[in-house]
Amino acid sequence: MANIKIICQNKRARHEYFIEDSIECGLMLRGPEVKSLRDGKANLTDSYASVERSEVWINNFHINPYSPAQQFNLHPTRKRKLLLNRKEINKLIGRAQEKGYTLVPLKVYFKNGIAKVELTIAKAKKLYDKRASIKKREATREIDKAMKRGRS
């Protein structure tokens, strides 16, 4: 059984994008970055992934500097390499080059002591799509409330 500890999530991504497919990938980090992640000092809000020279990189992933290791700290939003198999990278390249698709990281977590990122292939929602999903969510809430009142 895998021991999973979630560090941070990109909750806004589910509102902004249609999530189509997800892949678990490793994250290449330096020592102070790992310690800062273990403290839960990270932010995925504006991050995205890109494919450059058949390698996948995560951009704008903010990891706060680890204060006890001040001389070894790196830039908080530097590009970090994601670790994937060649087959998975080729799949991502094909899907990411289609019009309207992007690679969005959903969450960062430790799985058995190793830092992992859940990377998704997503398509951006239009404004009317966002309104429709909000309306649908509110309708299900209303139905659930009515069902609870009926049971009581």
CATH number, position 83: 2.40.280.10
**Quick check: 41 and 8 in contact, CB under 8 A?**
no
Rounded CA gap, 60 and 74, in Å?
13
Rounded CA gap, 116 and 114, in Å?
6
Model-level pTM?
0.75
55 in any annotated domain: yes
Average pLDDT of span 101-108: 90
> In this predicted structure, what is the pLDDT of residue 33?
83
143 in any annotated domain: no
94 in any annotated domain: yes
Read off the pLDDT of residues 130-146 as tens digits, 9 standing for 90 and up: 788 888 889 999 998 88
151 in any annotated domain: no
Compute the mean pLDDT over every residue in the chain, rounded to the nearest whole number: 84
Q: Return the SS3 of 123.
A: strand
Look up the domain containing 40 and give its range.
Answer: 4-125
- Measured in whole angstroms, the distance separating CA 16 from the mean position of its chain's CA atoms is 13
Read off the pLDDT of residues 17-49 as tens digits, 9 standing for 90 and up: 888 888 899 998 877 888 888 888 888 888 888
139 in any annotated domain: no
Rounded CA gap, 26 and 110, in Å?
10
**Is 151 or 117 the better-scoring residue by pLDDT?**
117
Average pLDDT of span 10-15: 84
132 in any annotated domain: no
Number of domains making up the chain: 1
Per-residue pLDDT band at 73 (split at 50, 70, 90): low
96 in any annotated domain: yes
65 in any annotated domain: yes
> In this predicted structure, what is the pLDDT of residue 108?
92
